């Protein structure tokens, strides 16, 4: 049987603490649509981590969290600036274009990271009715290529956005991995750095389902209740998302899970970095390892461990680690890679 540990952090099961939390709330009756005591408790947890000046809303999945969060702040005549590799651009089936109806302005990068210098040439046409009006810079932290923005880099982007009367959005589907890698709290890497709205992820770090839109300026969330409902993401049995978030944000569960995933990626990197026939193409800063593996070796390795070839043209494979990736699997995978390239 093919081992699936490195395909995606989504391939993981649900952490037992999360399942226990869901079972605990699975008693009796509870008011639906988020008006229940469990949801209040989960929101309190968000306040503990981000401060009380936020508005937070729970949704089922990450795609909707990005699209509906952005819909709250963007009109159809606006543009959102993002990296070409952004999930928003590549893996949301033009959902932003359909549901927000705006333009995505995409920027080529080598490492998935936007910079002020890269964005500047695209900020044209302010006030010109013939031109889509730039409104949001959207970055992913950590990026889709496993790389990390420092707080200083985020601050620079936020200042630049605000100077241009724009907003900074963070797709934080894996924000826990970023916070663990930076050894900082969620607030320090978002609100304190000037981020305006955040897609906060739970699913990739041990939850069954559940993501959150966090608005750091309450004026931005004015219509979000309606947008979430119209966007078909208002969960009736909300308590099962809320219970997960309460557990996730308690006793450092998010941190333990993310730290482990990051450590496994570092270990994989250490084990394969000196194999001359392959090349690690991105800095290993969180829980992803990107490796250029000549096409001829891929079927052999993939017959034992599944992984995605992220870039077919350049034969770049992506190995994702998660909270339950084992040390043993990392070592066996690295040996299989070594053996495959030496045998050919």
Ligand X SMILES: Cc1ncc(COP(=O)(O)O)c(C=O)c1O
- Under rule CB under 6 A, residue 147 binds ligand X: no
Query: Shortest Cβ distance from residue 144 to ligand X (Å)?
Result: 5
Query: Shortest Cβ distance from residue 66 to ligand X (Å)?
Result: 6
Q: Which of 36, 55, 171, 329 touches ligand X (CB under 6 A)?
A: 171
- Under rule CB under 6 A, residue 69 binds ligand X: no
Give ∠ CA 123-126-131 in degrees, rounded to 5: 90
CA dihedral of residues 250, 254, 256, 258 (deg, nearest 10): -170
- Under rule CB under 6 A, residue 62 binds ligand X: yes
Question: Sheet holding 197-201: strands in order across?
Answer: 55-59, 211-215, 197-201, 167-172, 133-140, 78-83, 103-107
Which residue is nearest to ligand X, using beta carbons? 62
- Under rule CB under 6 A, residue 146 binds ligand X: no
SS3 56: strand
Q: Yes or no: say if 184 and 217 are a contact pair by the CB < 8 Å rule.
A: no
Query: Shortest Cβ distance from residue 244 to ligand X (Å)?
Result: 14
| Window 193-212: contact mask with ligand X (x via CB under 6 A) | ----------x---------
Beta pairing, strands 308-311 & 316-320: antiparallel
- Under rule CB under 6 A, residue 178 binds ligand X: no
User: In the block, which residue shows the tokens 């200083």?
Assistant: 152
- Under rule CB under 6 A, residue 140 binds ligand X: yes
Per DSSP, what are the bridge partners of residue 81?
105, 137
Measured from the CB atom, the residue of 83 and 238 that comes closer to ligand X is 83
Q: Which of 173, 214, 264, 278 touches ligand X (CB under 6 A)?
A: 173
Query: Shortest Cβ distance from residue 61 to ligand X (Å)?
Result: 3
Separation between Cα atoms, residue 221 and residue 231, nearest integer Å: 15
Backbone angles phi, psi at 314, to 5 degrees: -100, 10
Q: Yes or no: say if 310 and 85 are a contact pair by the CB < 8 Å rule.
A: no
- Under rule CB under 6 A, residue 177 binds ligand X: no
Measured from the CB atom, the residue of 62 and 134 that comes closer to ligand X is 62
Q: Which of 61, 105, 250, 300 touches ligand X (CB under 6 A)?
A: 61
Measured from the CB atom, the residue of 61 and 105 that comes closer to ligand X is 61
Interface region with ligand X, contact rule CB under 6 A, candidates 61-69, 93-101, 145-153, 226-234: 61-69
Q: Which of 21, 42, 71, 87 touches ligand X (CB under 6 A)?
A: 87
- Under rule CB under 6 A, residue 138 binds ligand X: no
Task: Please measure the distance between the N-terminal and C-terminal CA atoms of the chain and give it in whole angstroms.
Answer: 23
CA distances from 170 to 34, 106, 198, 200, 257 (A): 24, 15, 5, 8, 21
Binding site for ligand X (CB under 6 A): 61-63, 66, 87, 140, 144, 171, 173, 203
């Amino acid at each position: 049987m093919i081992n699936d540990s490195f395909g995606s952090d989504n391939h993981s099961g649900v952490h037992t603490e999360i399942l226990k939390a869901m079972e605990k709330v699975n008693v009796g009756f509870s008011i639906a649509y988020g008006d229940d005591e469990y949801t209040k408790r989960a929101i309190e947890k968000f306040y503990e981590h981000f401060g009380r000046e936020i508005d937070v809303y729970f949704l089922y999945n990450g795609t909707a969290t990005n699209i509906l969060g952005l819909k709250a702040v963007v009109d159809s005549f606006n543009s959102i600036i993002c990296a070409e590799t952004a999930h928003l651009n590549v893996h949301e089936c033009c959902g932003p274009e359909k549901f927000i109806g705006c333009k995505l302005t995409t920027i080529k990068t080598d490492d998935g990271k936007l910079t002020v210098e890269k964005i500047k040439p695209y900020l044209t046409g302010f006030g010109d009715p013939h031109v889509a009006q730039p409104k949001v810079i959207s970055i992913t932290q950590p990026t889709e290529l496993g790389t990390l923005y420092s707080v200083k880099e985020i601050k620079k982007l936020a200042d630049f956005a605000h100077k241009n009367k724009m907003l900074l959005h963070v797709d934080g589907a894996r924000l826990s991995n970023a916070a663990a890698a930076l050894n900082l709290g969620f607030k320090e890497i978002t609100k304190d750095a000037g981020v305006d709205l955040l897609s906060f992820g739970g699913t990739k770090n041990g939850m069954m389902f559940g993501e959150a839109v966090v608005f750091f300026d309450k004026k931005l969330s004015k219509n979000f209740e309606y947008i979430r409902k119209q966007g078909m993401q208002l969960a009736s049995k909300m308590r099962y998302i809320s219970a997960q978030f309460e557990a996730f944000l308690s006793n450092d569960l998010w941190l333990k899970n993310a730290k482990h995933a990051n450590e496994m990626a570092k270990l994989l990197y250490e084990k394969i970095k000196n194999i001359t026939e392959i090349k690690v193409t991105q800095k290993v800063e969180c829980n992803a390892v990107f490796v250029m593996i000549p096409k001829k070796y891929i079927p052999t390795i993939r017959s034992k461990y599944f992984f995605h070839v992220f870039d077919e043209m350049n034969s770049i494979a992506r190995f994702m680690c998660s909270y339950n990736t084992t040390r043993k699997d990392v070592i066996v995978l690295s040996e299989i890679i070594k053996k495959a390239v030496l045998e050919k």
